[in-house]
Amino acid sequence: MRTGVFVTGTDTGCGKTHVAQTLVAQLRTRGVKVAGFKPVAAGAFWRDGRLQNADALALQAASGFSVAYETLNPYCFEQAVAPHLAAEAQGTAIRLERILAAYDALCTLSDFVVVEGAGGWRVPLGGSLDIQGLACALRLPVLLVVGLRLGCLNHALLSEQAIVASGADLIGWVGSQVEPEMDYLKENLVALDRRLMAPCRGVLPHPDGPEQVSLERPLELDDICGLDPDGRSNAGMS
């Protein structure tokens, strides 16, 4: 059985990579061989003769084992713009089949795959394909990262609505503090708890936030990843 989770977010820069990295690191402490996967990345630099993306490399480092970069990040574009525009600029079309093949390869190398999306849930990838279509094609449960900043309530509620309407399995949300001194942070968390149908699976404070200890809620690994009592994963769908 293929296992994993799809990490999406309310928008760009909401903390998806931080949450995905944390998931990978904590799963490794439970004895799970876990791979990070960044199917599409826009915003890259040249290294070792090819474009590479910082978020993809961060996931690879967190995973702790070597894998070909093309498998870790099948589509990597230099410009930090919407993926479909970056692909057009490089004369490339993003193909679902290539992403699924890379995911299958990672499944054979690991027990669990943490997939990080690009931008938010409806970000276009080209043609009729978008992040929603990619997540549904992978048939993985979805974890929504809510960037805790001004506007997060509307973004979170609309994202949840869209994810549920797509038929994807939304297993919860994680708050990610992206502003170190956000006004009414605690009150926004209370509002999210009350208004979102999906349960909160953790809150990651900003490392420079003045109240990080009081705001932190550890990630609920068992519920996010479907770990059974011996620490192994039963979460994904095949």
Chain position carrying tokens 């995905």: 20
Residue 16 among the catalytic residues: no
CA dist 4 to 58, 100, 110, 117, 211, Å?
18, 13, 10, 13, 32
DSSP lists the bridge partners of residue 167 as: none
| C-alpha–C-alpha distance, residues 6 and 48, integer Å | 29
Q: How many CB atoms lie within 10 A of CB 46?
A: 9
DSSP lists the bridge partners of residue 112 as: 34
* Catalytic residue, candidates 16, 33, 38, 186: 38
Among positive and negative, which fits the CA dihedral 217, 221, 222, 225?
positive
- DSSP states of 176-198: EE-STT-TTHHHHHHHHHHH-SS
Helix axes 131-138, 152-166, angle to 10 degrees: 50
The alpha carbon of 177 is separated from its chain's Cα centroid by a whole number of angstroms, namely 15
Question: Which residues form the catalytic set?
Answer: 38
